């Protein structure tokens, strides 16, 4: 069962029919990576670990078991700091996924050879179906978001790259509108007419 909440698809059950049993190495690698993701502050990795272990009928790793015990103990003691910690994580996670989506759109546009000014117009159209002049995403916002994510991914920030790790059980669903025919044609013509690569 999955439900949508503020742009995120939250998965709560396991569909056993989707995949064959993975190799032991794959699942162990996945769980080891999820431990790093969790310890970096991306708390939803705990739910991913529960998901994969449930899906393949494997015991939870020690780090996940301890984290669940800590969380339940905090809830039993009515320790509101744990709820606030998880609530803050979810807000930060949604923003990180939105930022990464913008970063990916900019990167792809640059790889297609668009100049920076055309990249901003293209990404603004992808996000809101509007150019900046029509009330779409502002150029400085797109550029700042791209540079912020790039800085983290390049290891030039105090923030950890796992901030942008896409979780299985908290899947960010891009709610960007479907391009109108006019927007699609505008981008297509821009790609054709682009002469100067950045």
| pLDDT score recorded for residue 180 | 58
Q: How far is it, in rounded angstroms, from Cα 50 to Cα 43?
A: 12
| pLDDT score recorded for residue 196 | 39
| pLDDT score recorded for residue 53 | 93
Q: Contact 68/46 with Cβ under 8 angstroms? A: yes
| pLDDT score recorded for residue 66 | 96
| pLDDT score recorded for residue 17 | 43
| pLDDT score recorded for residue 125 | 74
Query: CA torsion sign, 40 to 86 to 52 to 96?
Result: negative
Task: Report domain extents, the chain.
Answer: 2-193
Task: Report DSSP letters for the chain, one per residue.
Answer: -EEEETTEEEE-S--TTSSPPPPHHHHHHHHHHHHHHHHTT-TTHHHHHHHHHHHTT-PPPHHHHHHHHHHHHHHHTT-HHHHHHHHHHHHHHHHHHHHHHHHHHHHHHHHTT--HHHHHHHHHHHHHSS-GGGT---HHHHHHHHHHHHHHHTT-SSS-GGGG---SSEEE---PPPPPHHHHHHHHHHHHH-----
8-11 and 170-172 strand pairing: antiparallel
Percent of the chain with pLDDT over 70: 68
| pLDDT score recorded for residue 115 | 80
- φ and ψ of 94, to 5 deg: -60, -45
Query: CA torsion sign, 165 to 84 to 51 to 36?
Result: positive
Q: What is the pLDDT of residues 87-142, one digit of tens each?
A: 999 999 999 998 988 888 888 888 878 888 788 777 777 776 555 555 555 557 88
Q: How far is it, in rounded angstroms, from Cα 188 to Cα 198?
A: 18
Give the residue ranges of the chain where pLDDT is below 50.
Answer: 1-5, 10-11, 16-18, 195-198
């Amino acid at each position: 069962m999955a439900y949508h909440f503020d742009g995120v698809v939250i998965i709560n059950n396991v569909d056993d029919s989707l995949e064959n049993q993975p190799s032991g190495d794959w699942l162990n690698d996945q769980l080891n990576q999820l431990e790093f993701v969790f310890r970096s502050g991306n708390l939803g990795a705990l739910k991913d670990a529960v998901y994969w272990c449930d899906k393949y009928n494997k015991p939870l790793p020690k780090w996940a078991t301890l984290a669940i015990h800590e969380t339940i103990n905090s809830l039993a003691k009515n320790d509101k700091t744990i709820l606030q910690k998880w609530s803050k994580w979810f807000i930060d996670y949604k923003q990180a996924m939105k930022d990464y989506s913008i970063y990916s759109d900019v990167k792809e546009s640059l790889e297609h050879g668009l100049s920076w000014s055309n990249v901003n117009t293209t990404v603004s159209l992808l996000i809101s179906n509007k150019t900046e002049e029509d009330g779409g995403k502002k150029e400085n916002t797109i550029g700042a978001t791209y540079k912020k994510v790039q800085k983290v991914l390049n290891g030039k920030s105090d923030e950890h790259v796992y901030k942008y790790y896409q979780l299985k059980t908290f899947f960010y669903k891009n709610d960007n509108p479907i391009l109108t025919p006019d927007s699609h044609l505008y981008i297509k013509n821009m790609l054709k007419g682009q002469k100067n690569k950045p």
